Amino acid sequence: MNLRRASWLFMLVATVALLVVGVVRESGPLTQQDRIDAIAQRLACPTCSGESIYVSRASAAEALRAEIARQVAAGQRTDDEIIAYVEARFGGQVLLVPRATGLDALVWALPVAVLVAALAALTAAFVRWRRRDASLLSDDDRAIVAQALANNDD
């Protein structure tokens, strides 16, 4: 039983460790094309429905990709600054990834808050059920179980 628990614990620790390493590790220097593609994947095509400018062949998407390429080649703006430049002209609807500030932050915070609340409620419910189950046994019940176990040993 202890060995089983230990192996589950080991798997949990290993999974968390791999996830953490995957998220925080340095991915190495990006090429200019990598940067252009990464930015293009974060922006919606203004004339299409639900497509990023990375996949869209619309002329507006092509013009935006060309602008991103120009700005990346100029090397004067970060990825976030280039996205802010596009947002300042086309509006917030071109952002495929919602901002983590202001009201938009609710999109990120609410699911986490609901998950935490649900886990807390489940934990509280399990604890209560366990207590109630334990309290359902009377002394007579316990005596019967003890008697049965004793008979079984014989």
Partner 1 sequence: MKRRRVAPIVSALVGVVMAGLLVILITADPPQNADTFSPLLGQPAPAVVSTTLDDDAFDLARRKGSWVVLNFFNSTCVPCINEHDELLAFHAAQQNESEPAEMYTIINDDNDDAVREFFEKNDGEWDKVRDHDGAIAVSFGVARVPETWLIDPNGVVRTRIAGELTTGLLDEQLADLRRQFGS
Among 8, 33, 62, 81, binds partner 1 (CB under 8 A): 62
Does residue 76 bind partner 1 (CB under 8 A)? no
The structure tokens 């509006």 sit at 91
Query: Per CB under 8 A, which region of 31-39, 54-62, 73-81, 138-146 contacts partner 1?
Result: 54-62
Distance CA 147, CA 135 (A): 20
Q: How far is the CB of 107 from partner 1 (least distance, A)?
A: 12
The structure tokens 């316990």 sit at 142
Q: 20-46 burial string, b = 16+ CB within 10 Å, else e?
A: eeeeeeeeeeeeeeebbeebbebbbbb
Phi-psi region of 22 (alpha: psi -120 to 50; beta: other; left: phi over 0): alpha
Task: Report the residue number, 11 or 118, with the smaller CB distance to partner 1.
Answer: 118
Among 51, 67, 79, 104, binds partner 1 (CB under 8 A): 67
Residue 39 and residue 72 in contact, taking contact as beta carbons nearer than 8 Å? yes
Task: Report the residue number, 14 or 63, with the smaller CB distance to partner 1.
Answer: 63
Q: Which string of x and - marks every residue 6-45 that binds partner 1 (by CB under 8 A)?
A: ----------------------------------------
Tokens of 100: 């983590």
Distance CA 45, CA 31 (A): 23
Q: Report 89-118 residues binding partner 1 (CB under 8 A).
A: 89-91, 103, 106
Mapping DSSP to helix (H, G, I), strand (E, B) and coil, where does residue 52 land?
A: strand
Name the site residues for partner 1 (rule: CB under 8 A). 46-47, 59-60, 62-64, 66-67, 70, 86-91, 103, 106, 121, 124, 128
